[in-house]
Structure 1
Amino acid sequence: MKVKVQTLDAKAGGDIQLDDAVFGVEPRADILHRVVTWQLINRRAPARPARERSDVARTGKKFGRQKGGGTARHGDRRAPIFIGGGKAHGPRARVFTSSLNKKVRALGLKMALSSKAKEGNLIVLDNLDLGEGKTKALREKLSKLGFGKTALVMDGDALNVSFARASSNLESINLMPAVGANVYDILRHETLVLTRAAVEKLEARFNG
């Protein structure tokens, strides 16, 4: 698959040949759904447990007589109806984890990349070099490139400092290195923007 390369100034930067084994896979909704579900489950933080009656450090001594007090009968101050008592039927400690075959995860990432290329929402830039890290200057350049409402920009190993500084104030732009590529972030952005270095890293990730 041959794709045109652009510069940040919206000028032609030649062509690049994308590997069909990475960017030409037919997407399957069931595979993408499995990978996204696996990602979101593993993002969840552990559930904090509540202290129940047996966990509260209060006296176990019976504090009142059984009859004649005109009040309800209680054995100790750990009862849930008292301030400082244990929680009745509170949440238990839970750790949310899920496992997914490595081949399925790799296939899901290929399909996410391929879906953007198939839809025409893949843009390849020569690099992210920006003269000065000013948001105003970057916004003017992006208006000519057609990034859409939201765009995920991927660079090589290291992020371009000036581009990262300029895009930090733009809510519609998210920047990450190619090593952080994942199905959920790719699918939830309208446009995927890759640099030449990012394309090389992604292809090497699957072919290396």
Structure 2
Amino acid sequence: MKHKVITLDGAKASGAKGDIELNDDVFGLEARADILHRVVNWQREKARGTARPTRERSDVARTGKKYGNQKGGGTARHGDRRAPIFVGGGKAHGARKRDFNPSLNKRVRALGLKMALSDKAKNDNLVILENLDVKEAKTKALIATISKLGFGKSALVMDGDAVNEAFSKASSNIPRLNVMPAAGANVYDILNHETLVLTRAAVEKLEARFNG
């Protein structure tokens, strides 16, 4: 499919650069809610840290020697210094380890990313820029520029190998405007923003990622 390429000034790119041919295998798929749901759940689970356990009586490194004789000591008949009632003993009914490390087939993950990209293209929430070159790293000037481009309430901007440094600095204080290189493309961030903004270099990187 063909898609219009614009500049940061809002004008259509000149000459043959005015349009870009998007690969239908990457940007032309029919999105499936079940696939996107699986990938987002996998991604959010992978982001969770391991819940650390507490040490119970079998985990504490203390001697198992009895405190004293079974009889004749005049005290309770304790048989283990690791019991929870003693200082330094194990915790009774403590937290158990919970390790969030789900697995998901690579093909499903790749398909989910393609569907997320296709969903933005199909619903006219995809903007393709020639590049992210700005004259100076000024937030106020960048806000005035992007207000004409129809980024919506939130936008995710992707560049090629690395994000333009001046653009990255200028956009760092703009709420709901996030930038990343194409290598960081993921389903959750794409779906979590109203508009997806790709540079020509980002499109090439994403298509090469699936065709390589």
- TM-score, length basis structure 2: 0.87
The equivalent of 1:202 in structure 2 is 206
Match 1:115 to one of 97, 116, 119: 119
Cα deviations by residue, 1:35-92 (Å, 9 ceiling, x for unpaired): 1122122222222121111333456565588899999765455333445432112223
Shift of 1:120: 1.1
The equivalent of 2:6 in structure 1 is 6
- TM-score, length basis structure 1: 0.88
CA distance in 2, matches of 1:83, 1:166: 56
CA distance change for structure 1 residues 69 and 31 in 2, over 3 Å: closer, same or farther?
A: same
Q: Is the aligned partner of 1:44 residue 2:42?
A: no
Q: CA RMSD in A?
A: 2.3
Match 1:23 to one of 27, 34, 38: 27
CA distance in 1, matches of 2:118, 2:74: 75
**Which runs of 5 or more structure 1 residues have no equivalent in the other structure?**
none
Q: Is the aligned partner of 1:138 residue 2:142?
A: yes
CA distance in 2, matches of 1:73, 1:144: 81
Structure 2 SS opposite 1:153: strand
After alignment, is 100-109 or 64-73 more displaced? 64-73
CA distance in 2, matches of 1:202, 1:80: 56
CA distance in 2, matches of 1:112, 1:62: 64
After alignment, is 156-165 or 91-100 more displaced? 91-100
Counterpart residue type for residue 35 of structure 1: V
Match 2:167 to one of 157, 163, 167: 163
The equivalent of 2:97 in structure 1 is 93
CA distance in 2, matches of 1:195, 1:51: 52
Q: How many residues align?
A: 208
CA distance in 1, matches of 2:74, 2:203: 79
Aligned residues: percent identity? Answer: 74
After alignment, is 167-176 or 117-126 more displaced? 167-176
After alignment, is 181-190 or 59-68 more displaced? 59-68
Counterpart residue type for residue 57 of structure 2: R
CA distance in 1, matches of 2:151, 2:180: 16
Structure 2 SS opposite 1:12: coil
